[in-house]
Structure 1
């Protein structure tokens, strides 16, 4: 596997890169849209997707593109969280990822799109969900969107899922990679507070941000895929594994 990118997802994929020759994993590009990302950043990702798709077509390779299964895409009130949903993204980031998916699908190469929920693990960027919650807890004040829920997935489970899908030879499909368990952010903050030994004040923001992600398509791909069934308190396992490492990363940055 050729991995394009040097970030969190790219680093995680290196553990299985030797298992999937002929695959180009596009683990680079914009991970959120905010003031720090200018229009040319979005255009640069579009150019990258177009260029890699052309190369894959000429070399007979599979282009693996990572999109989002977050509320940015699946946050509409009537969205089921299935892959057929997400045609009306709620945010600029969701619209951007949807546009990149369309570029991939319209190309001449073989392709596979994996929509990722909130991955959690060491080495994440500070703005991502759990590192941001840990930093806020340590600062004594956490911003919480009231009635929001999020689907957390340990990065090691993400790698195993990706390995399973690629090993099954799936092509020209869009597949969610998630736990299928949507947990209230308030509950996530409760456990972060326990693990960080803090008692942060919560600042509530009134927004509509509930969503769920279906993994039924993932589980139907092969007998091996059916193992992806997670308990209701899976989020605790994810946080127990990741928060100590995030705390160490935070200490180093300080």
Structure 2
């Protein structure tokens, strides 16, 4: 597998580099759900267009990483499903959905994976977990009231990516997530206990409410997903591993 990119996700995929020779993984582009500019979005669209053109010319499959976060599924009336129309609630979600359509129209063989919130050592400082740890250390943590996130360990996500690629899927979209929405306040509670850090909490009222990601299709395609420990308490193990790396 050829990997385009050198960031957090690209590094996690490197152990798969000798597998799936028919695939090009596009693990580069916008990873910031908030604060990205139109220029950032345009650069990712251009990169996807160029990569899809090369894949179409060589007959290789393009693996594209989209999002299963609230920006994509926040307005869903129930669990966010891959086979139902979605109305993105953020510019980032709208951008990723537009790129999915761009890829489908490109003529390249492809597989789209909508990712939950990846958690693991070395993830970008602007993402949720590093931000919360940094705020806890500062003594003040800001919480969006009622917000939830679907957290998935990056190692588990990589395992699922490997298994999904091994199925030879084409022209499919699959959610790769735990399937359980965790209140951000519970995430802060667990990190605070695990790191031994107490902080004053400031609550902000936003439109970022609850959202649940459906993993029905993932579990049907990859039965092994049921052995990875996903459940209401799964996030605690993921946070424990992340907290250990924060003090390593």
SS at the partner of 2:230? coil
**Partners of 1:115 and 1:174 within 8 A in 2:** yes
> How far apart, CA to CA, are the structure 2 residues paired with 1:223 and 1:126?
33
Higher mean C-alpha deviation, range 11-20 or range 71-80: 71-80
> How far apart, CA to CA, are the structure 1 residues paired with 2:136 and 2:6?
28
* Equivalent residue, structure 1, for 2:14: 14
Residue 230 of structure 1: how far off its partner (Å): 1.3
TM-score by length of 2: 0.95
* Equivalent residue, structure 2, for 1:239: 239
Give unmatched runs, 5+ long, in structure 2: none
* Equivalent residue, structure 2, for 1:163: 162
Question: What is the CA deviation profile of residues 165-220 of structure 1, one whole-angstrom value per residue up to 9, with x for unaligned ones?
Answer: 01111111000000111111111100010122111111111123210111110111
Residue 17 of structure 1: how far off its partner (Å): 1.7
Aligned pairs, number:
247
* Equivalent residue, structure 1, for 2:189: 190
Higher mean C-alpha deviation, range 95-104 or range 73-82: 73-82
**CA RMSD, 1 decimal:** 1.5
Aligned 1:147-158 pairs, distance under 5 A = 147-158=146-157
> How far apart, CA to CA, are the structure 2 residues paired with 1:202 and 1:81?
30
**Partners of 1:154 and 1:238 within 8 A in 2:** yes
Question: What is the CA deviation profile of residues 63-112 of structure 1, one whole-angstrom value per residue up to 9, with x for unaligned ones?
Answer: 00000000011111524211134621000110111111111111111000
* Equivalent residue, structure 2, for 1:251: none
Residue 39 of structure 1: how far off its partner (Å): 2.1
Aligned 1:50-129 pairs, distance under 5 A = 50-76=49-75, 78-85=77-84, 87-129=86-128
**1:90–1:246 distance in 2 versus 1, CA, 3 Å:** same
Residue 116 of structure 1: how far off its partner (Å): 0.4
> How far apart, CA to CA, are the structure 2 residues paired with 1:107 and 1:79?
31
Give unmatched runs, 5+ long, in structure 1: 249-254
SS at the partner of 2:142? strand
**Partners of 1:74 and 1:85 within 8 A in 2:** no
2:218 is equivalent to residue 218 of structure 1 = yes
Residue 60 of structure 1: how far off its partner (Å): 0.8
> How far apart, CA to CA, are the structure 1 residues paired with 2:236 and 2:119?
12
**Partners of 1:219 and 1:228 within 8 A in 2:** no
TM-score by length of 1: 0.93
